[in-house]
Structure 1
Amino acid sequence: MPFGEQPAYLRVAGDLRKKIADGVLAPHARLPSQARIRAEYGVSDTVALEARKVLMAEGLVEGRSGSGTYVRELPLPRRIARTGYRAIGESTPFRQEQSDESVKGTWESRSEQEDASPGTAERLGIVPGERVMRTRYLFRMEGDPAMLSTSWEPLGLTGRTPVMLPEEGPLGGRGVVERMAAIDVVVDNVAEEVGSRPGRAEETLELGGVPGHAVLVVSRTYYAGGRPVETADVVVPADRFRLAYRLPVK
């Protein structure tokens, strides 16, 4: 196929996508049937079917059992600010993940001990199998599920201290920086990597999304003098949120 020339099913999908973007096919409108696409574009059943599959895979339309395929109402992406890490003060887990002061939110959590997997051990600079505290969070913005986070802290550092459980004790729910300071560990650096992948079924169930749709994954690690003290994966629905960074210029 010559460079720049598209297969027929992509040309059809592109035209339907434009109609959705322009509002010709409005949210909740029924997508033209396979027979109508075939007749309107002069293509085969196979091409019409593949074009519909493309739009479904892109999350622009959804199938309704016994009814047909309809245009999805796409949410306006909301902003998650990933800057403004605090040393001491209002450094709650929610503020740790969303630094925009105007955004209000809550969280649920559950902690349990486990053996560090090879991947977790590498991120924490410990030996695989060493005990870590794993904490899973579900964050809500104005009541709606927004983010999932799974964090790991080495029990060789926090074990048998008042901050061993991130959400319990005198500093429960105060965030990594303040909790570590309480055991004389000064967090001075944080590193983040952002990637994307298809959402897993259990993640999208908790976040109210569609399995297979893309999620953003922020892999974050807090350091104290070069030593990793906490690492976490933050999962955000890519169709509903945007990550915003503001970085200082030195």
Structure 2
Amino acid sequence: MPREAPYLAMADVLRARILAGEWEVGERVPSRARLAEEYGVGRNVMQRAMDRLIIDGLLEGRAGSGTYVRRPRERLRLVRSQHRERREGSSSPRPATRERGRADAWDAHSRIRAPAPEAIAERLAVSTGDPCVNTHYEFLADGQPVQLSASWEPMAITDGTPILLPERGPLAGKGVVERMRSIGVLVSRVVEAPRPARATQAEANLLGISVGDLVLQIERTIYDTDGRPVETADIVIPDARREVVYEFGVDPP
């Protein structure tokens, strides 16, 4: 069996000491040099071990001060349900279905005639460079940033209609399902592919977290009854703030 990397083994040792309460929340832990000497490992190994615990949310570094045990953050539960997605199908929250942890405010900015990048074009079954409406969302819950979303809709479907802009017009913020229905396009299914990832610099800046913090990336695509993709989105949720739960109904026999 391959041997575990030394810094990961060291991170496990320190994690056990933190969880056992050897250092109180808010207390400064010994320096990397001191811990490296205590365990007989290189300073680089200890540096990487502590960096891992910072990423995992157990420690936090304070510039010019040292490293401290981080106060645990409450993770709000976000339920993603096939029934809600069929009804809402939107990057925007709907107050009628909001539960604790669900966004209660958001900001959105749309670009018209944004050329579809190759990966987005493949997901939308259009040609690379085809014009789309690209909308970026930033969601807040209790005043705290909790989710990002970048949505793409092909203009071949919505151009010249009142629903061209998701957050403007008579159906602003009503969701993909309702908006598409208004122009005769019926949504039949939503496909989501969740993947763990680390926050980029841009994501960290918007979410108020550290670069490299764990996030959940959800690639979502919405299809009409003909199997045509009508919207695709990349959703980013910080792991430290939200616990994502998938809920599925069971069809009666």
Task: Give yes or no for TM over 0.5.
Answer: yes
1:63-142 superposed matches below 5 A: 63-83=61-81, 84-85=83-84, 93-95=92-94, 100-102=98-100, 103=102, 105-113=104-112, 114-142=114-142
CA deviation map 1:45-103 (0-9, x unaligned): 4554443344334342222222111122231221111113266689781139x954454
Q: TM-score, normalised by structure 2?
A: 0.87
CA contact (8 A) 1:105 1:141 kept: yes
Check if 1:231 corresponds to 2:232. yes
Q: Distance in 2 between matches of 1:48 and 1:91?
A: 44
Shift, 1:9, TM fit? 4.4
Letter in 2 for 1:105: D
Q: CA RMSD in A?
A: 2.6
Greater RCO structure (CA 8 Å; 6+ sep): 2
> In structure 1, the residue corresponding to 2:233 is in which secondary structure?
strand
Q: Residues 155, 29 of structure 1: CA spacing in aligned structure 2 closer, same or farther, 3 A cutoff?
A: same
- Residues 1:59 and 1:190: Cα distance change in structure 2 (over 3 Å): same
- For each residue in 1:142-180, what CA deviation from the matched residue of structure 2 results, as whole angstroms up to 9, or x when unmatched? 221110011000000000100001000111111101000
Match of 1:15 in 2: 13
Q: How big is the shift at 1:41?
A: 3.0
1:41 equivalenced with 2:9 (yes/no): no
Mapping of residues 50-65 of structure 1, within 5 Å: 50-65=48-63
Instruction: Tell me the matched-pair count.
Output: 247
Q: Is the 8 A contact 2:222 2:230 kept in 1?
A: yes
SS in 2 for 1:242: strand
Following the alignment from structure 2 to structure 1, what is the Cα–Cα distance between the partners of residues 124 and 86? 21
Q: Contact 2:199/2:215 (CA < 8 Å) preserved in 1?
A: yes
Distance (Å, rounded) in 1 between the aligned partners of 2:86 and 2:56: 41
TM-score, structure 1 as length reference: 0.88
Q: Following TM superposition, by how much is the alpha carbon of 1:27 offset from its aligned partner in structure 2, in angstroms? A: 2.1
Distance 1:89 1:33, change over 3 A: closer
Give 1:26's match in structure 2, choosing from 24, 28, 47: 24
Structure 2 contact 89–176 (Cα < 8 Å) conserved:
no
Distance in structure 1 (CA, Å) of the matches to 2:45 and 2:168? 57
Runs of 4+ in 1 over 6 A off after TM superposition: 89-92
Q: Mark the CA change 1:215 to 1:6 in structure 2 (over 3 Å): closer, same or farther.
A: closer
Is 1:214–1:238's contact at 8 Å kept on the other side of the alignment? yes
Structure-2 change in CA distance of 1:174 and 1:37 (3 Å): same
One-letter code aligned to 1:178: E
Give the Å deviation of 1:108: 0.7
AA at the equivalent of 2:124: L
